[in-house]
Amino acid sequence: RTKAAMVTLLRRNPEIQPLLAILQVKRQKDTCRINYFDICKELLKLNNDPKVHGVYLHLPAASLTSRVLGALNPEKDVDGTTDLNMGRLVRGDASEGFVPPVAGAVLDLLGKHDAPLKVKSVLLVGGEGPLRLALQCLIERSGVEVNTSHWNSKSLQTQVHLHLFSNLTVKESNVIHSCNRWIQNQQYRPWRLRSLKLLPLTPVPSDIEISRAQTPKPVDQLAEEIGLLPEELEAYGRNKAKVQLSLLDRLHSQPDGNYVLVAGITPTPLGEGKSTVTIGLVQALSAHLKLNSFACLRQPSQGPTFGVKGGAAGGGYAQVIPMEEFNLHLTGDIHAITAANNLVAAAIDARMLHEATQSDKALFNRLVPTVNGVRTFSPIQISRLRRLGISKTEPTSLTPQEVSAFVRLDLDPSKITWQRVLDTNDRFLRKITVGQASTEKGQIRETGFDIAVASEIMAILALSDSLKDMKDRLAHMVVGTSRSGGPVTAEDLGVSGAVAVLMKDAIKPTLMQTLEGTPVFVHAGPFANIAHGNSSVLADKLALKLVGRDGFVVTEAGFGADIGMEKFFNIKCRASGLRPNVVVLVATVRALKMHGGGPNVSAGAPLPREYINENLSLVAGGCHSNLKKQIQIAHLFGVPVVVALNVFKTDTRAEIDLVCQIAKTCGASDAVPCHHWSQGGRGCLELAQAVKEATRRPSNFQFLYPTEMPIVEKIRTIAQKVYGANDMELSPEAKSKIDYYNQQGYGSLPICMAKTHLSLSHMADKKGAPTGFILPIRDIRASVGAGFIYPLVGTMSTMPGLPTRPCFYDIDLDPDTEEITGLF
């Protein structure tokens, strides 16, 4: 029967070979010196090896301690001896685990007895531990009376001459059963999502009060509900976990779900609620319409969290919870990026110092030291030799000229493009001088800091589709130019492997949940004005597989559609190969009034009365200018648009109706009011239905420009078609950079504009839809590893500053309860 089962398994799955791993002591004399730590370590390896379907512990009985048995995965325990498998057997739930194979074989033989067993009684002689317990449970469950006796009974010793021993052959059945179960587990699992009840209060409490009032599900429970396997989860406490990228391999044949992008009109400095709309939409889809849906959000930067804008967990009854964990540190991805980025910066300055103060020979002796009498190149040094055209691998065989070329990067201090980063808004780090200590021997130069999420490493994290892809991109990062005019990369510095090590956990998206218990991936960072500002390719791809063909993945692009959405289409979609089905364009009456001619809106200042009282003319002006233009931008890419009006309590019915009416006349497929802030998912049902309907319509997606178009023309195309400029103007420095990038072969990279988010133009005070302006390009950088050219528009800074009264004035900690106050 086991052979027949094996034949059937291999016929259906020819690429799989059932495998039993046997763990045993090498020599009998070693039994007294068994290292239990080594046994447990080996068991953990076998547990995590998907090619191993069963593990047999062929160890002395004294070695089978609770510690050893506890280290064995019950799903691979083909002997059925772990506590969980024995507990399942005693409870009568053996179908989920494994029965000791000898016990199963005995019961099978008894079942073939000529007479019905129920009229018989069974005498169980000898044996102890799991085998005896298993036999007794199984036989009694068959309705047979069981008596037991020990071998040391004198009468038995004279009458019975039978001894059962465990035979490896009978374990094969459990191995095949385990393999079949493993194959079944690899299939897509339908969701069994249990949503959390929401009881909205009026008036709506503060965000942090709402977050604390809801008890999130344990993250492992959420993972099980959405079809993740336990081994695909790396828990970071009770409420969040990293998800293994192996999920993509397991579900590679699973069709993707519907792909929804949330963008917005040009915002006020207060933000217009794209995150809350994103969360409200998935809460409506999953908790109320019972459709699989996933939100993919970006990790907040501590810059705005402690600066002006606050956190990014959503708000009201549309939040990611716990909001404190979401907004502060999360799983450390941004800290990893900061460490990796600054390691590269430190490597640059250290290398320039050592090259300036040492001879070729001294550099070579230190870069390729003799260890135990042997001198060898490291793998990353071999790669540098190959790029130099040197095929030698023996250090002593290099000529003096080859040694010099190998050890000298000869970086030009005035052409270093790599800056240090910090995840804090600190305007005084925009320009600094380093190397002033006497120990740096006069190696002084000007440099600066960027906000951490503007690091090229963040862009690489967001655009990579595998660990290997990320490692390759990190190696290709250009940090500066040599005095001879050649690019110098992170791999040339010898640091790219170490950077990949710092980033190996950050590449995995973080799983969290909304207030209504629906799943959220948090990955990559914000700031679409100075970075590409979208959630990661990997988070979107994982979510699209998990939701299934009829599900929805709602991903978010930063700031207005002119910035975040344009970069999503032209950069992220090129990298991922994914194509969105619909764009949700978020608008507010407040922002529309500003674009219709209302007074300035400033963070921390009371809103002028025009924003509190009904004013239909201002609303109409904003709709016919900025809203209309942003809808047109989405249509440039051939994607249908649904306008989501994020309703505030000061909005009137007439204003809401006017926005929805004008949005439809401007080309939106639909336009609906959203009340998720006060009602949760129920307040977003109309939007969910509109999105569901829009995804059924054909999407004629197209890119704005071909990558083969010259850099200047790509920039001009964005300036004219997206921003509404008459033309653009390059500074002399930008022109020379473009010439250099073309010479180096970077001309076919897409464009990532660094521009203010407060206007369609480069002038933050120009609201509505400005026209007739010339877009000034001050400088251009190349993020070669990330894969885009990075023009700086106007006076755009890559390090924000703090306002007069930052958010941190209101943030505090109760030392008795450890509760945080003031976060929003």
Give catalytic residues, as residue numbers.
Answer: 274, 276, 298, 309, 528, 559, 648, 677
Look up residue 107 and give its two tokens: 């019961």
Look up residue 654 and give its two tokens: 């007439």
Classify residue 784 by its DSSP letter: T
**CA 670, CA 697: separation in Å to the nearest integer?**
12
Torsions phi, psi for 772 (to 5 deg): 75, 10
Residue 528 Cα to chain centre, angstroms: 17
Query: Pairing between strand 241-243 and 510-514?
Result: antiparallel
Strand, helix or coil for residue 792? strand
**CA 310, CA 823: separation in Å to the nearest integer?**
7
Q: What H or E segment, with its residue span, contains residue 57?
A: strand 54-58
Residue 491 Cα to chain centre, angstroms: 25
**CA 573, CA 579: separation in Å to the nearest integer?**
6
Phi-psi region of 389 (alpha: psi -120 to 50; beta: other; left: phi over 0): left
H helical segments located in 358-485: 360-367, 379-387, 400-407, 456-463, 467-475
- Please name which of 638, 607, 610 lies closest in space to residue 622, comparing C-alpha atoms: 610
Cis peptide before 205 (omega within 30 of 0): no
Q: What H or E segment, with its residue span, contains residue 318?
A: strand 318-321
What's the half-sphere exposure (Cβ side, CA atoms, 13 Å) at 315? 19
> Letter for the amino acid at 422?
L
What's the half-sphere exposure (Cβ side, CA atoms, 13 Å) at 146? 18
Look up residue 85 and give its two tokens: 């498998």
Cis peptide before 322 (omega within 30 of 0): yes
**CA 91, CA 145: separation in Å to the nearest integer?**
18
Query: Pairing between strand 145-149 and 519-522?
Result: unpaired
Contact 662, 655 (CB under 8 A): no
H helical segments located in 145-227: 154-159, 172-185, 207-213, 219-225
- Angle at the Cα of 527 from the Cα atoms of 525 and 528, rounded to 5 degrees: 105
Torsions phi, psi for 234 (to 5 deg): -120, 100
First to last CA, the chain: 64
Measured CA distances, 601 to 610, 621, 658 (Å) = 11, 17, 22
**CA 325, CA 216: separation in Å to the nearest integer?**
12
**CA 545, CA 46: separation in Å to the nearest integer?**
27
Q: In 10 A of CB 322, how many CB atoms?
A: 23
Residue 302 Cα to chain centre, angstroms: 18
**CA 233, CA 212: separation in Å to the nearest integer?**
25
Strand, helix or coil for residue 803? coil
Q: Which residues contact 168 (CB under 8 A, 6 or more apart)?
A: 22, 56
| DSSP notation for 603-621 | TTSPPPGGGTS--HHHHHH
Torsions phi, psi for 775 (to 5 deg): -85, 115
Query: Pairing between strand 519-522 and 487-489?
Result: unpaired
Torsions phi, psi for 241 (to 5 deg): -155, 150
Burial class (CB in 10 A: 0-12, 13-18, 19+), 737: buried
